[in-house]
Amino acid sequence: MSELRKIFKQRELSELLTGAVRIAGPGVFAKVTDADGDSLALGGQAPASSQNGFLKRPLKGKDGIVGYLVLGLSAGENVSGETNQRLGDLAELLHGVFTKALKNNRVKRALANETLEQYRELAVTQRSIFRFTASMQVNEVARALLEEAHSANRHVHAGCVCLMSKSDAPSACVDSFGFSGEEADLMVNSRVSKDIVKRGVGEVLNDLGTDPRWRDDIKGLRGLMCIPLVSSGKVHGALFLAVREGGEPFASAHLKKTNTLATVAGIAISNAIHFEQIQNILTALMQTMSTAIDARDHLTAGHSHRVAHLALGLMRVASEDQTLLPEMEFSADQLREIYYAGLLHDVGKIGVREEVLTKATRLPLAHMELLRLRLALWGQLNDKPWLPMSDRLSAINESYDLDDEDEALINALCGMKVVMGGQEVVILDESEKDRLLTPRGNLTPDEWEEIKRHPEESYRILKTIPFTSFFPQLLTMVRQHHERLDGSGYPDQARARDIVPQSRILAIVDIYDSLRRDRHYKKALSQKKALHILREEAAQGKLDKRLVEVFCANVQDIEPLASDECGSYFDTVFVH
């Protein structure tokens, strides 16, 4: 469409020309044509054919002539000095009007384009801020930057993002497109790239071949845009965008847009780096805390670390399983969260007395020596064999379960007495009898209640730490890791509907690790037997059947993750 038509409607043009020729006097006409000479509007009556006295003035727009102003005399009018003067004056007046209108239109269009460009830049900035701050992982921020930069520079053929190494030299690219792996490394470590990054100011090179710093490191590249990623005066990395031979060169607008993205990304990457540093410190502190708790008992040493890695392994497998567990999909933050919960799940045992926590027998060995002396005295005074009973009593003291014969012997001993110096001394008093008659394990009911308080104690200790914003389920997992789906667990007797999937995972691996390791009251079980017990617990409605089956099906891959020989599985997932 003609630029004149964009400025004036045909009716407005006609009214303007008609009013002008009326002022100029009778016999004058004026018309406006487009650049090809086609009439756009007419004022007055133009003759059918050309004649002397015509004036034709070009009307210039932004890109050259956009039309013509034509003035002359109507048919039958005579040319004279006076008429020529009238035509000249009218031509000057109208030409000035159209020239000013065209100029104002160019200014208005420029302002509109600038406003539109600023709006687009603002929209890109807002979108990029949302994307860059959506994750606190450095690699994910770098990937988002590369995608946004490519979207804003569609003509580029390749790009990559690098982060600085500890020695302040560019490291290998963390993400790229259009480059091979070798090309990306060459781009990052080229002389021109290092120079731009060192100075910390973005640069565009549309003719790489003429730059003395470029040594044709990558064949076929024509242009390069390199923008350092800076925050608080520190260079954290750089963005590289490249155009191959035959491609469109970079314009100043490209650099402006990309600089905006790089500025936002630099801040986001700086925040992500600081967050990762805090995470590393937090992880180290949690690992140290769990080690200190486990170290109170040599038989539980490493338990929290193993549970953390087993839980992380099971959660990853569960998240990937689309057959048994199609609805379970866990994020990277949730994977990190369950690892931390595994490390901290037994921190409440810090409040359990050491004699309870490390209790290996129903009665202390020193106490058993006293019972042995009583039996020996009884045997000597009554000329009765006492050693078999003493040996059997020692075996009972160290056993996990009691049978009917064991209970009968304990009850019999409780009724036996020996007289010394006129005083009766019982072989076994009521308190000793109750402790020896503990049906399973070696803890008395009161001691067992003390142990059972540790999930609640862990929750109480950890709730003072502000985990909620980053790990909303961590405290729940710690509190629920001994809950059972049928309500038989502790401390809250929670039932299935209230137990989150993460807690169910933690419960399974906590039981499994305990079964697979020596304890004071039992020997370690084989993998086969431990899995059988998990399946029994699931069949009884205590553990999540589907998660147990996924664990059993993948145990050969999951269990090695908790071994010392494999190093830190957490580091494999989140660092490497």
Whether residues 455 and 316 share a domain: the answer is yes
User: In the predicted model, is pLDDT for residue 416 greater than 70?
Assistant: yes
Mean pLDDT of 435-462: 85
223 belongs to a structural domain: yes
Q: Torsion over CA of 347, 353, 354 and 359, rounded to 10 degrees? A: -110
155 belongs to a structural domain: yes
Two tokens, residue 469: 């914003």
Mean pLDDT of 297-302: 73
Whether residues 256 and 329 share a domain: the answer is no
570 belongs to a structural domain: yes
Whether residues 34 and 86 share a domain: the answer is yes
The confidence score (pLDDT) of residue 125 equals 59
The more confidently predicted of residues 42 and 510 is 510
Whether residues 381 and 492 share a domain: the answer is no
User: Could you tell me the sign of the dihedral formed by the alpha carbons of 117, 121, 124, 126, in that order?
Assistant: negative
Strands, DSSP E only, in 346-411? none
How sure is the predictor about 488, in pLDDT bands with cuts at 50, 70 and 90? Answer: very high
Nearby residues of 337 by Cβ (< 8 Å), 6 or more positions away: 470, 471, 473, 474, 477, 502
| 200, 223 contact by CB (below 8 A) | no
The confidence score (pLDDT) of residue 2 equals 66
How far apart (Å, rounded) are the C-alpha atoms in residues 217 and 209? 10
Domain edge (last residue) among 442, 467, 492: 442
286 belongs to a structural domain: no
Amino acid residing at 377: L
Whether residues 416 and 455 share a domain: the answer is no
| 225, 157 contact by CB (below 8 A) | no
Mean pLDDT of 334-342: 92
The domain in which residue 213 lies consists of 135-276
Domain edge (last residue) among 221, 244, 276: 276
Neighbours of 2 (CB within 10 A): 17
Whether residues 458 and 437 share a domain: the answer is no
Whether residues 53 and 100 share a domain: the answer is yes
377 belongs to a structural domain: yes
Whether residues 167 and 246 share a domain: the answer is yes
How far apart (Å, rounded) are the C-alpha atoms in residues 193 and 164? 12
The confidence score (pLDDT) of residue 521 equals 66
Nearby residues of 92 by Cβ (< 8 Å), 6 or more positions away: none
Mean pLDDT of 30-55: 76
Burial of residue 318 (CB within 10 Å: 0-12, 13-18, 19+) is buried
Give the pairing of strands 64-73 and 55-61: antiparallel
116 belongs to a structural domain: no
Whether residues 142 and 216 share a domain: the answer is yes
Nearby residues of 230 by Cβ (< 8 Å), 6 or more positions away: 200, 236, 262, 263, 266
User: In the predicted model, is pLDDT for residue 301 greater than 60?
Assistant: yes
562 belongs to a structural domain: yes
User: In the predicted model, is pLDDT for residue 256 greater than 60?
Assistant: yes
How sure is the predictor about 274, in pLDDT bands with cuts at 50, 70 and 90? Answer: confident
How sure is the predictor about 116, in pLDDT bands with cuts at 50, 70 and 90? Answer: low
Burial of residue 15 (CB within 10 Å: 0-12, 13-18, 19+) is middle
Whether residues 57 and 145 share a domain: the answer is no
The confidence score (pLDDT) of residue 576 equals 46
Global pTM?
0.62
User: In the predicted model, is pLDDT for residue 430 greater than 80?
Assistant: yes
C-alpha closest to that of 427 among 384, 458, 465: 384
| 152, 261 contact by CB (below 8 A) | yes
Whether residues 332 and 405 share a domain: the answer is no
Least confident of 28-37, 132-141, 249-258, 400-409: 132-141
The confidence score (pLDDT) of residue 561 equals 86
Mean pLDDT of 2-27: 78
How far apart (Å, rounded) are the C-alpha atoms in residues 97 and 108? 16
Which CATH number goes with the domain that contains 494?
A: 1.10.3210.10
Whether residues 420 and 455 share a domain: the answer is no
> How many independent structural domains does the chain possess?
4
